[in-house]
Structure 1
C-alpha cells in the first residue's frame, strides 16, 4: 500500500467509515488514564469520541496485520517462548541460593541463620519494589524495551554476585538482581493480554506462567548439585550464562506487543510521510510522560488498596506463594536432620512440589478456558470474569491438605515419600489457585493488565520475602507439625474467598468500577 493509501486506511476514510478495533480485547487497550477500567466503557468512549476524527491513527480495520491480536502463530510463538524463558529464569534464580546457603555461610564464616535465609529472601524483596517501576514504564515505553533493559541489568548483577567477596555485597547485589528480575514476572501477563483474545487467554497464560511457578523448584536442585561439585559461586555463574543467553534471544526474537506503542510508532511514521503534525494515536493521552509515569506508579497500590477483587485475590495468592518459599527453607531441617539425606538428596526433594506444579499446570491449561467457554454459552454468550473461578475451589482444598500432610508426616517421621507427596499437593494447589486468580483480574482490568499484575506481585513478593524469615523461630517453637498446621488453618480460612466472588463478584466489580485508577 502506498503511503497515501495507508494514511487513508489508517484514518478510517474508506467510504466515510470510522476505523474499528480488532476483536474483543483490542478495544480494551486504551491508554487514557481517566477511563473506567472496563472493556465496555472503553469501547463506548471510542465510539462516542474521536472515532471520526481524521487526525486519529487507528488500526487499519479488523484484520490489520500489525495488531498483535491478528499476528499469525509463527509471529506470536517466538515472543511467547522468549517471555516464558525469561519469566522462568527470574524465579529460578530466586531459590538457587537456598540449597547453596550452607556453603555460602561457611565461606563467609557466619552462623546467623536469619542472615542465611535473608540471602534468598532479599531477592524476593526486590520483587516488591521492581513492579512499581516496570509496570508503569512498560505502559509508557512498551514491553520490548523493558524486557531488554531488565535482562541486561539482571545479567550484570549476577556477575557481581558471583565475584563478590563479602556477604553484605552479596545481599545488596541479590536485591538489585531481584528488582531487575521482577520485570518479566510483572509484565508477562500483560504480554499475553496483548497477544491473545479473552477466549484463548487462559491456555496462553498457563504456558507463560510455567516458568515463574516451576522455576523455584528446579533452582535449588541445580544449585545443590553444582555447589557441592564446584562451589557456591558456580551457582551464580550458571545464572550468568543463562541470563546472557536471555539477553541475546530477547534482543533477536522479542517484538513489541503493546498496542499503544505500536500505534504511536505508526503515528510518528505517518506524520513524517504526510507532513501532518496533528496526526496522533487513538490510544494517546494528553498527559506528559512525567505526569503519566507518576500517576501509573501509584496505580498498582491504589488498585491493591481500593479494589476488593485485587486485594482479596492478591492476598490469597500471596499467602500460598509465601507458603511455598517458607517450606523450601524447611527442607534441610526435615530431610537433612530428620531423614539423614545428603546435600544432593535434599536437593532432589524439591521435585515433589515441582511435579505437583506441573500437574496443576496441565490441569489449569486444560480446563480454564473450557470451563469459561461452557459457562459463557450457558449465560447467553456473555462472558463474566467469575467464570474463571471454579478451578480455584479445587486449589482451596489442595493447599491445606498439602500443608497438613507435609507437616504431620514429617513430624512423625513417616516414610520420606509421604511428606514429599504433601509438597506436591501444595505445588498443585499453588498453580491452580494462581492461574485462575490472575486471569480473573486480567479479565476485569484488561486496560491495566500490567498494573494489576504489578499489584499482585508487590503483595505476594512481600509475603514471600518476609514470611520465611519468621520460619525458623516458628518451627523451633511449634515444631514442623503444628507449625504447618497453623499455616493450614489460615489456608482453610481463605476457602470462602473464591466462593464469595462467585456469588457476589458482579456486585463487587460494579462497585469497584466506579473508582478511577
Structure 2
C-alpha cells in the first residue's frame, strides 16, 4: 500500500478525493513525534544554500536556524528514505523505469522501417524521410534540459516531471500514428520526443536516489541495458508490422508499448526524491502539531531565495559546469560521438544488409539484434568486473576517487574502434553477413562499457546536479545523433561504407587517448575546478 500511496494516482486520491485514505505514519492514531526532532544549531552554509550540499538529504550534515525544528529521517533505518527501500521495491521501481526508458528510446528507431513508406506517401527523398528520426532524437535531447532540472526542485520531486510529460507523450503518439500530412508528422515526432524525454534524462538520477553507493553501478547497468537495447530491438518489432500492413503501423506499436508503462507509472511509481519526501513529511508534521517551525532541509535552504533564483540555479548551473569544467566537457563530447555513431547505423544498415546482402525489410530489422547481443555481453563483463575487482578494492581500501569508475570504459574504448573497423571493411557481398554483425556487437559492447563508466563518473562529480548533468549529456549526444542521422546517408553513399565508417573509427581512436588522459589527470582537473565539491 505504501507504493500505491506514494505513486502519482495515490497522491491525487489523497489530495482531491479522500484525504484520510492511504495514510502516512504521522496521520495515524497514536503517532508520537520522535524525540530527536528538536532545534539544531545554526549552519551558515545551509542558510545560504551552499553549492556544497549533497543531492540526497540523507547524506549530508543537517542544521537549522535557531527556533526551527529540522525534519529529517526518523533513524538510520527509516523506511521512507529511498536509500532504505526494500530489495523488492527497488526492483519494482527499476522495472518501471526500465520499461518506460525502453519505450521512449525504442520510439526513435521504431520509425525507421516506415521511412520508405513515408517517401512514397509524401513524395519526399531520403533526407526528409530520415528527418522523422532526427527530429524525435533532437526533441528527446532538448526536453531533459527543462524537465530534469525541474525534478531537482523539492516542491516538484521526480514524479511530477515524469508523469505529466509522459502522459502527453502517449496522447501525442495517437495522432502521430494516424496523421497523413508530412509537416504534421514531423512536428508530432519532435513533440513526442520532447515530452517523452524525462525517462531518458532523469532515469539515471532516479536510480541514484534508491541505490546505495556500493550497488549503484548494478542498478544503473539495468537501466542502461534498456537505453542501449531499445533502439536495436525496435526496428525488429515494427518492421514486420510495416511489411504486413503499412507505414502507419510502426507508429501504432509505439502506443501499444507505452500505454502499459504509463499505467504502471500512475499506479505504482513511488516518489524517490529525498528532498521531496522530507518536504511532505514537514508539511504533515506542521498540520499535526499546528506549529510552523517544522521545516525540511530544502525549505531552510531556499527560504531566502526567490522562485526565479531556484529555477535559474537548477536550469543554468549544469550548462555552466558542462562548458567550463574540461573533464565534464570531454565526457559529454565522447558520449556524443558514440551516440551519433550508433544512430548513423540506422542509415548504414539498410545500405549494407538490404543493398549488399539482399535482406528484406524485416531481415534488416533483425540485423540490429547483434547490437543488443553486444550490449548484454558488455553488461555481463561489467557485472563480473564489479564483483571480482571493484568490490574487493572497496572492501579493502574504501571509497576511491571518481576516476576509479572510468576503468571499465578504458578497456571498452579499445573495443569500440575495433568493432567499427571490422564492420567497415567486411560489409561486402563477398564476405558472409555474420562477420560485419560481429563487428557491430563488439562496437556495442565497448560502447556500453564507456557509457556506464561515464554515467557513474558524472553524478559522483557533482551529486547535487546529477539529474541536470545527465540532461546536459543527453542534450549533447542527442543533438549530434540528430545531425548524424541526416549526414550519415550521404556520407556513406559518397564515401562508401568502408571509408565512411572508418572515419568514425578514426574518431574512436582519438577517444581512446582522451579517456586515458581523463583517467590520469581527471583528479587534478577536478581539484582546479571552481565547481568542485569540498571533500
State the TM-score, normalized to the length of structure 2: 0.88
Cα distance in 2, alignment partners of residues 512 and 261 from structure 1: 30
Cα distance in 1, alignment partners of residues 189 and 295 from structure 2: 42
Partner residue of 1:302 out of 320, 323, 331:
320
3-state DSSP of counterpart to 1:56:
strand
Cα distance in 1, alignment partners of residues 160 and 140 from structure 2: 19
1:87-486 alignment, distance < 5 Å: 87-110=101-124, 112-140=125-153, 141-284=156-299, 285-286=302-303, 287-368=305-386, 371-377=389-395, 380-411=397-428, 413-486=430-503
CA-CA distance at 1:288 after TM superposition: 3.4
State the TM-score, normalized to the length of structure 1: 0.91
Aligned to 1:22: none
3-state DSSP of counterpart to 1:7:
coil
CA-CA distance at 1:411 after TM superposition: 4.4
CA displacement, residues 430-451 of structure 1 (integer Å, 9 cap, x when unaligned): 1111011101112222222101
C-alpha distance 305-197 of structure 1, shift in aligned 2 (>3 A): same
Does structure 1 conserve the Cα–Cα contact (< 8 Å) formed by 2:58 and 2:274? no
Cα distance in 1, alignment partners of residues 380 and 441 from structure 2: 14
Does structure 1 conserve the Cα–Cα contact (< 8 Å) formed by 2:526 and 2:532? no
> What residue ranges of structure 1 are gaps of 5+ in the alignment?
19-29
Cα distance in 2, alignment partners of residues 152 and 443 from structure 1: 31
Cα distance in 2, alignment partners of residues 300 and 31 from structure 1: 22
Partner residue of 2:92 out of 78, 83, 96:
78
3-state DSSP of counterpart to 1:139:
coil
After TM superposition, the structure 1 stretch with the greater mean CA deviation from structure 2, 298-307 or 398-407, is: 298-307
CA displacement, residues 71-119 of structure 1 (integer Å, 9 cap, x when unaligned): 1122222211111110111111010111221112212222x11111111
Correspondence 1:36 to 2:52: yes
Cα distance in 1, alignment partners of residues 251 and 181 from structure 2: 15
> What residue ranges of structure 2 are gaps of 5+ in the alignment?
1-24
CA-CA distance at 1:43 after TM superposition: 6.4
Does structure 2 conserve the Cα–Cα contact (< 8 Å) formed by 1:371 and 1:387? no
1:53-68 alignment, distance < 5 Å: 54-68=68-82
C-alpha distance 291-51 of structure 1, shift in aligned 2 (>3 A): closer
Does structure 1 conserve the Cα–Cα contact (< 8 Å) formed by 2:102 and 2:226? yes
Cα distance in 2, alignment partners of residues 443 and 9 from structure 1: 34
CA-CA distance at 1:229 after TM superposition: 0.8
C-alpha distance 432-43 of structure 1, shift in aligned 2 (>3 A): closer
Cα distance in 1, alignment partners of residues 337 and 36 from structure 2: 47
3-state DSSP of counterpart to 1:197:
coil
Aligned to 1:26: none
Does structure 1 conserve the Cα–Cα contact (< 8 Å) formed by 2:462 and 2:533? no
CA-CA distance at 1:486 after TM superposition: 0.7
CA displacement, residues 326-383 of structure 1 (integer Å, 9 cap, x when unaligned): 01211111111111111121111111111111211222233246533333345x3232
